[in-house]
Structure 1
């Protein structure tokens, strides 16, 4: 006999919960399952960035960690157009063979943890032209998407529609939006960025449906070695997932290495912010 707890009391029946607010995520996961993900990661010494953040807070400003990551991502992927790309199917029966379409502009798809009508879900905001965007510009866009009533913004009208459509029509609508690879930056972005640094998460990996997906963990004090000496520094684990259909391991490793160099060597040119211009090359001092 089922449905009874020990002692003879009847257990409450399970209830089916329609996932209207998460349907866009489920459609996306069906699409992302076609990828061939490979995962890399590295530790980022955030000493210079944390010094810059402290100086900005003292001056009445504020930059989030993800803003620095987006800033670096735009510049690095602009230098690696082969990683700022999408796979183009080979046509009817695959006779033409696969190709990649490379984009001149870097558009990040930033994952947002939001509550929509009382239900927790993920929304994805697009931040175009990152290769030339300043920190202030990026932070302004991040603040807009993290503000109240984000889900009511015009950019998320399509997500709201997917939640209302019957599932067969929702799948068709999602597929139609991605059919033209040339329109992909305006629909899906060219690089996916996600952060769980606001939680006790050191590192994670995900496949964001783009050639490169970046995943940032928390910034925490950890032991590091500098010039043969043990020190303590704020460190962030940065994960990179690449779609092996589009990018090979060597290119992905170059992208991750350049991101590490860009973030650890951050300098906005203002000496009064607590950082000095970084001396490039071996043995460079990363201390503020």
Structure 2
């Protein structure tokens, strides 16, 4: 009889501590389909010009602008302190900071690292792409911003739990720990849609971009479509607000414009795809 192998989850301890914390959330799930015609046209023109943009970069670009317009969803619940004498409050943040989930192999073990991208409300698509590429380089886990994750993997479990809880004690410091919005993508796999909750008021989950039938002006056409899931913490926002955020994201992505001047050199020309904005 083969002995069962016990495997200590040192590389995933930060994830397990997070999941213990995340049980406090009250997640509700929404989703919608995004017509990616304009974005795919932009990506194609960029490739011809020698530049590659990931789908996640466009999602982050839209997310920064949309959550800046919806500060009630760019927030965190603050407990009623001290001793519960004051009711729960929400803290709304002026800056949008995304927590981007990264699939990485650390010392032979597959794990998830979370990179923080602050200032999304003012970041250009190019700036966002450059930040993502930094995290896709070799030895990502050795970057200084993942020092805390490395420490949690080395600490004894009781101390690791205490250290994780201490990092979350001050709600005002939450953007520097969890970000203000979580973003995850499984678009590199045959996954149409999924939902998770990333410890923030809003979590966005992107599936693959695949050709699907759509209806335009009463006619069936084929277009690249991406399923976008939105999970919201019902303690922080209500369903109507979350639906507004998801609808605004759909509008922003389907009507993508890189903001370039009409000088004949911009990547997205008028008419490169159907104008899907109302």
Query: What TM-score bracket applies, with the shorter chain setting the length?
Result: over 0.9
Contact residue 216 and residue 237 of structure 1 kept, 8 A: yes
Question: Partners in 2 of 1:175 and 1:164 — Cα distance?
Answer: 16
Question: Partners in 2 of 1:191 and 1:163 — Cα distance?
Answer: 24
Selected match of 1:62 from 52, 58, 61: 52
**Does residue 130 of structure 1 match 2:120?**
yes
Match of 1:245 in 2: 235
1:23-54 CA-to-partner distances (Å, cap 9, x unmatched) read 00000000001000000000000000000000
Selected match of 1:146 from 136, 142, 146: 136
Question: Partners in 1 of 2:269 and 2:114 — Cα distance?
Answer: 33
Aligned-residue RMSD, C-alpha: 1.6
1:125-184 CA-to-partner distances (Å, cap 9, x unmatched) read 000000000011000000001111000000000000000000000000000001001111
Contact residue 51 and residue 275 of structure 1 kept, 8 A: no
Shift of 1:273: 2.7
Match of 2:17 in 1: 27
Shift of 1:123: 0.1
- Structure 2 gap segments, 5+ residues each: none
Selected match of 1:86 from 76, 89, 96: 76
Shift of 1:94: 1.8
1:182-214 CA-to-partner distances (Å, cap 9, x unmatched) read 111111100000000000000000010000000
Partner of 2:224, secondary structure, is strand
Which one has the largest radius of gyration?
1
**Does residue 206 of structure 1 match 2:196?**
yes
- Structure 1 gap segments, 5+ residues each: 1-10, 279-283
Question: Partners in 2 of 1:253 and 1:204 — Cα distance?
Answer: 17
Shift of 1:274: 4.3
Partner of 2:160, secondary structure, is helix
Shift of 1:277: 7.5
Partner of 1:161, secondary structure, is helix
Q: Could you state the TM-score of these two structures normalised by the residue count of structure 1?
A: 0.92
Contact residue 267 and residue 275 of structure 1 kept, 8 A: no
Match of 1:260 in 2: 250
Question: Partners in 2 of 1:71 and 1:286 — Cα distance?
Answer: 18
Match of 2:7 in 1: 17
Question: How many pairs does the alignment contain?
Answer: 273
Contact residue 76 and residue 255 of structure 1 kept, 8 A: yes
1:82-121 CA-to-partner distances (Å, cap 9, x unmatched) read 0000000001332200000000000000000000000000
Question: Partners in 2 of 1:84 and 1:45 — Cα distance?
Answer: 25
* Structure 1 residue runs of 4 or more that deviate by more than 6 Å after TM superposition: none
